[in-house]
Structure 1
């Protein structure tokens, strides 16, 4: 019996291709879990140890809780988001340098499916690192889960935002020096100046104003609210900012894959 040859129909979304790309991204970082999951957890514990030694037995309250309980959510969020960024940026950068970027561009995946698959892979790594880091910190610092729904929402939105920023960096960086520059001069400063290690309520008025212009502030502030029940800023504004930034990045990355030439061999 003969079969006529014709293009395969996938429907509005190629779910098979999208799932395959997502699994590829997840397996890529799980294959080296010691480097991608265990190492960030150890680094975060070292941060915690340094602050414990620096603060000694201080009983200062920040946000109505002991300082270490205030600090823990910021450390977890920093580990989570930095690894979400690293996953997508390194995936694209390595593919470009090794010359196998065609393996991403040639399959029957449209720009939206590529963008979503990469972003979900980065999101997954961020959440796994966040969970493992939280479990390790919980041994030393009590985490109360004051508002679990808010904690989950901000964890997902923050990891997704950094994963999409990683896609932007991976598309436009031409070598690893460019990637390091993005991390050292954009991601890390924004994370450190967003209230990760301190309450913005203790800053002068100008400092608080500048902090509230930083989108990283809202992801850390909302996540901290989910854990300890205290927020320095407006949760409604934070929700709007994170949703808006994620949508803008999604559209921008879609257009980059659809019309850009940076990834073309």
Structure 2
């Protein structure tokens, strides 16, 4: 057994304290205008959250989209031809882009809404409120996860439709596809974040989905040319912001639109800014997040 002199103990303690103190000072992390590491960590958390259950969050929506296409393909075959603005276009080729962007809308909304309402329900929302993340960084992290999930589901759905021969998704213009898919994911991701923050329980979130998101999606021209509608429903359809997202996205594939693409650019652009600002404000004031 080795003896340690009593005189040596204070030196050891002092040395340890000094070393620990110096190490603590060295570990203080300095952030600039943007906490890049924190933002990247939150984004990875959001992506990892839905990728861990990819069978439910990615595979299931893809299967649903392909089932929609299969049912309409069996019902109409190649006989369905449209009139009006889409004169002579095969119905399946008209339907496919609408189903793809509908997948973006639904999955972007579900990603942010489910993430936030689950965090509130499990009282784990402090995990992203306590770190040094600004309201803008929180907004960007959650919306980034929503965009990623929506785009992944859309790309796989489009490839499945094309490779299976259910429809022909030939690209006419690339920029509308990129613009309207991103703005649609931003708007619905922001709506999902607002719904998740506002909802006190899952029933509240289900009400938003069933009475707002689903009706606006299905009545926006996804399955039909809106010009077959009579007044005042035709005017109401033009007031539905989902219509411009779907119409603009479809324009990128078939080169024809029901409305002005410039109008669609303005509507989706302004709504993206306003919805993002609304989420930023809710995080800033801690609406239903801070006691």
The corresponding residue for 1:248 is 274
Summarize the Cα distance change of 1:82–1:242 in structure 2 as closer, same or farther, 3 Å threshold.
same
Is 1:99 aligned to residue 123 of structure 2? yes
Matches of 2:196 and 2:184, distance apart in 1: 18
Matches of 1:38 and 1:59, distance apart in 2: 29
Is 1:227 aligned to residue 248 of structure 2? no
The corresponding residue for 1:176 is 202
Conserved in 1, the CA contact under 8 Å of 2:186 and 2:276?
no
The corresponding residue for 2:46 is 25
Matches within 5 A, 1:30-49: 30-49=51-70
Q: Post-superposition shift, 1:261? A: 3.2
The corresponding residue for 2:79 is 58
Is 1:82 aligned to residue 106 of structure 2? yes
The corresponding residue for 2:159 is 135
Conserved in 1, the CA contact under 8 Å of 2:112 and 2:146?
yes
Which structure 2 segments of 5+ residues have no match?
1-18
Is 1:165 aligned to residue 191 of structure 2? yes
Q: Post-superposition shift, 1:200? A: 1.2
| Structure with greater Cα Rg | 2
The corresponding residue for 2:290 is 264
The corresponding residue for 1:69 is 93
Query: Which residue among 252, 264, 277 is the counterpart of 1:238?
Result: 264
The corresponding residue for 1:155 is 181
Which structure 1 segments of 5+ residues have no match?
none
Matches within 5 A, 1:168-207: 168-207=194-233
Q: Post-superposition shift, 1:3? A: 6.5
TM-score normalized by structure 1?
A: 0.95
Count of matched residue pairs: 265
Summarize the Cα distance change of 1:142–1:57 in structure 2 as closer, same or farther, 3 Å threshold.
closer
RMSD: 1.6
Give secondary structure in 1 for the equivalent of 2:232.
helix
Deviations 1:190-228 (A, max 9, x none): 000100000112222422211110000000000000011
